[in-house]
Structure 1
Amino acid sequence: MFREIEKRASDAITEALKKLEIPVPEEIKLEEPPNPQMGDLASTVSFELAGTLKKSPMEITAEIMSVIEAPEIFETIESKGPYINFFIDYRKLSGELLKIIDDDYGQHPPVDERIILEHTSANPNGPLHIGHIRNAIIGDSLARILRMAGYSVETQYYVNDMGRQIAMIVWGLQNLEGDLDDYPGDKKDHRVGRLYFEVNQKLNENPSIRDEVDELIRKYESGENEDIFRYVVEYCLDGMKETMERLHVHHDRFVWEGQFVRDGTVERVIESLKRTGYTSENDVLYLDLEEFGIEKELVLTRSDGTSLYSTRDIAYHLKKSLEGDTLIDVLGSDHKLAAEQVKIAMKLLGGKIPEVIFYEFITLPEGSMSTRRGVFISVDELMDEARRRALEEVKKRRDLPDDEAGEIAEMIGNGAIRYYIARLSPEKHMVFEWDDALSFEHGCASIQYAHARACKLLDKASFSDDVEVEDNWAPDDDEKELLRLLARFPVVIEDAASARRVHPVAQYAQDLANAFNSFYRSTPVMGSEFEGARLRLVDSVRKTIRNALGLLGIEASETM
Structure 2
Amino acid sequence: MYFEIEKQAIDAINKALDQYDVEVDRNFKLEFPPNPNLGDLASTIAFALTKKLKTSPPEVAKGLVEKIEVPEIFSKVQNFGPYVNFFIDYSKFSKLLLEKVDENYGQLPAYGEKIVLEHTSANPNGPLHIGHIRNSIFGDSLSRLLKLAGRDVITQYYVNDMGRQIAIIVCGITECGLKIEDYDGDKIDHKIGKLYFDANKAVEEDEALNDKVDELIRKYEEGSDKKLNKIFEDVVAKCISGMKESLLRMNIVHDDFVWEGQFVRSGEVNNLVNYIQKEGFTREEDVLFIDLTDFNIDKEFVLRRSNGTSLYSTRDLAYHKYKATLGDTVLDILGSDHKLAAKQIKVIFEEILRQKAPEVIFYEFITLPEGSMSTRKGKFVSVDELINEAVSRAHDEIKSRNPELNEEEIAPMAEDIGVGAIRFFIAKLSPEKHLTFKWDEALSFERGCASIQYAHARACKLLAKSGKDINSLTVSDDWIPNEDEQELVRQIAKFPQVVEDCANKQRVHNITQYCQDLAGSFNKFYKSQQVIGSDLENTRLILVDRAKTTIKNALDILGVVAPEKM
Residue of structure 2 equivalent to 1:500: 506
Deviation string 1:3-34 (CA, Å, 9 cap, x unpaired) is 22222111111111213445343234533222
Deviation string 1:113-160 (CA, Å, 9 cap, x unpaired) is 211111100000000000000111111111111111111111111000
Corresponding residue to 1:255 among 238, 248, 258? 258
Residue of structure 1 equivalent to 2:336: 333
Residue of structure 1 equivalent to 2:290: 287
Identity %: 57
Query: What are the residue-to-residue correspondences of 1:180-329 with 2, within 5 Å?
Result: 180-223=180-223, 224=225, 225-329=228-332
Residue of structure 2 equivalent to 1:120: 120
CA distance in structure 2 between the aligned counterparts of 1:217 and 1:405, rounded to whole angstroms: 49
CA distance in structure 2 between the aligned counterparts of 1:396 and 1:31, rounded to whole angstroms: 43
Residue of structure 2 equivalent to 1:107: 107
CA distance in structure 1 between the aligned counterparts of 2:410 and 2:21, rounded to whole angstroms: 68
AA partner of residue 120 (structure 1): T
SS at structure 2 position matched to 1:519: helix
CA distance in structure 2 between the aligned counterparts of 1:110 and 1:47, rounded to whole angstroms: 33
Give the C-alpha shift of residue 514 in structure 1: 1.1
CA distance in structure 2 between the aligned counterparts of 1:66 and 1:335, rounded to whole angstroms: 55
Give the C-alpha shift of residue 479 in structure 1: 1.5
Deviation string 1:217-276 (CA, Å, 9 cap, x unpaired) is 011111122111001101111111111111111101110000111110000111111123
Corresponding residue to 2:478 among 449, 462, 472? 472
Give the C-alpha shift of residue 343 in structure 1: 1.4
SS at structure 2 position matched to 1:260: helix
Corresponding residue to 2:545 among 523, 529, 539? 539
- Number of aligned pairs? 557
SS at structure 2 position matched to 1:286: strand
Change (3 A) 1:423 1:160: same
Q: Does the 8 Å contact 1:272/1:349 carry over to 2? A: no
CA distance in structure 1 between the aligned counterparts of 2:356 and 2:28, rounded to whole angstroms: 34
SS at structure 2 position matched to 1:162: coil
CA distance in structure 2 between the aligned counterparts of 1:261 and 1:29, rounded to whole angstroms: 49
Q: Does the 8 Å contact 2:178/2:195 carry over to 1? A: no
Give the C-alpha shift of residue 447 in structure 1: 0.6
Residue of structure 2 equivalent to 1:435: 440
Task: Give ranges in structure 2 of 5+ residues lacking alignment.
Answer: none
Change (3 A) 1:109 1:66: closer
CA distance in structure 1 between the aligned counterparts of 2:362 and 2:418, rounded to whole angstroms: 26
Change (3 A) 1:492 1:386: same
CA distance in structure 1 between the aligned counterparts of 2:85 and 2:258, rounded to whole angstroms: 53
Residue of structure 2 equivalent to 1:136: 136
CA distance in structure 2 between the aligned counterparts of 1:98 and 1:285, rounded to whole angstroms: 64
AA partner of residue 285 (structure 2): N
Deviation string 1:495-543 (CA, Å, 9 cap, x unpaired) is 2211111111121111111111111111211112222221111111100
Q: Does the 8 Å contact 2:22/2:52 carry over to 1? A: no
Choose 90-99 or 525-534, whichever is displaced more: 525-534
CA distance in structure 1 between the aligned counterparts of 2:453 and 2:370, rounded to whole angstroms: 29
AA partner of residue 534 (structure 1): R
CA distance in structure 2 between the aligned counterparts of 1:435 and 1:34, rounded to whole angstroms: 29
AA partner of residue 113 (structure 1): E
AA partner of residue 445 (structure 2): F
AA partner of residue 474 (structure 2): E
1:400 aligns with 2:405: yes
CA distance in structure 2 between the aligned counterparts of 1:403 and 1:73, rounded to whole angstroms: 50
AA partner of residue 370 (structure 2): E
Residue of structure 2 equivalent to 1:353: 357
Q: Does the 8 Å contact 1:15/1:68 carry over to 2? A: yes
Using the size of structure 2 for normalisation, the TM-score is 0.95
1:38 aligns with 2:38: yes
Change (3 A) 1:397 1:266: same
CA distance in structure 2 between the aligned counterparts of 1:440 and 1:65, rounded to whole angstroms: 45
Change (3 A) 1:62 1:383: closer
Deviation string 1:32-66 (CA, Å, 9 cap, x unpaired) is 22221121122222222112112333433343233
CA distance in structure 2 between the aligned counterparts of 1:188 and 1:150, rounded to whole angstroms: 38
Residue of structure 2 equivalent to 1:525: 531
1:449 aligns with 2:449: no
Give the C-alpha shift of residue 90 in structure 1: 0.9
CA distance in structure 2 between the aligned counterparts of 1:238 and 1:489, rounded to whole angstroms: 36
Q: Does the 8 Å contact 1:278/1:289 carry over to 2? A: no
CA distance in structure 2 between the aligned counterparts of 1:428 and 1:203, rounded to whole angstroms: 37
Give the C-alpha shift of residue 368 in structure 1: 12
AA partner of residue 114 (structure 1): K
Give the C-alpha shift of residue 87 in structure 1: 0.7
Give the C-alpha shift of residue 435 in structure 1: 1.0
Change (3 A) 1:218 1:58: closer
Q: Does the 8 Å contact 2:394/2:417 carry over to 1? A: yes
CA distance in structure 1 between the aligned counterparts of 2:490 and 2:91, rounded to whole angstroms: 12
Q: Does the 8 Å contact 2:24/2:48 carry over to 1? A: no
Residue of structure 1 equivalent to 2:157: 157
CA distance in structure 2 between the aligned counterparts of 1:241 and 1:88, rounded to whole angstroms: 48
TM superposition outliers: structure 1 runs of 4+ over 6 Å: none
AA partner of residue 291 (structure 1): D
CA distance in structure 1 between the aligned counterparts of 2:169 and 2:256, rounded to whole angstroms: 24
CA distance in structure 1 between the aligned counterparts of 2:534 and 2:493, rounded to whole angstroms: 24
Change (3 A) 1:54 1:466: same
AA partner of residue 201 (structure 1): K
Corresponding residue to 1:380 among 381, 384, 387? 384
Superposition RMSD in Å: 1.7
Q: Does the 8 Å contact 1:197/1:374 carry over to 2? A: no
Choose 427-436 or 520-529, whichever is displaced more: 520-529
CA distance in structure 1 between the aligned counterparts of 2:151 and 2:58, rounded to whole angstroms: 43
SS at structure 1 position matched to 2:472: coil
Choose 73-82 or 120-129, whichever is displaced more: 73-82
Using the size of structure 1 for normalisation, the TM-score is 0.96
Give the C-alpha shift of residue 556 in structure 1: 0.5
Change (3 A) 1:111 1:57: closer
Task: Give ranges in structure 1 of 5+ residues lacking alignment.
Answer: none
Query: What are the residue-to-residue correspondences of 1:71-90 with 2, within 5 Å?
Result: 71-90=71-90
Change (3 A) 1:299 1:432: same
Give the C-alpha shift of residue 181 in structure 1: 1.1
CA distance in structure 2 between the aligned counterparts of 1:366 and 1:119, rounded to whole angstroms: 28
Give the C-alpha shift of residue 394 in structure 1: 0.9
AA partner of residue 385 (structure 1): E
Deviation string 1:479-502 (CA, Å, 9 cap, x unpaired) is 111111111111111122111111
SS at structure 1 position matched to 2:330: strand
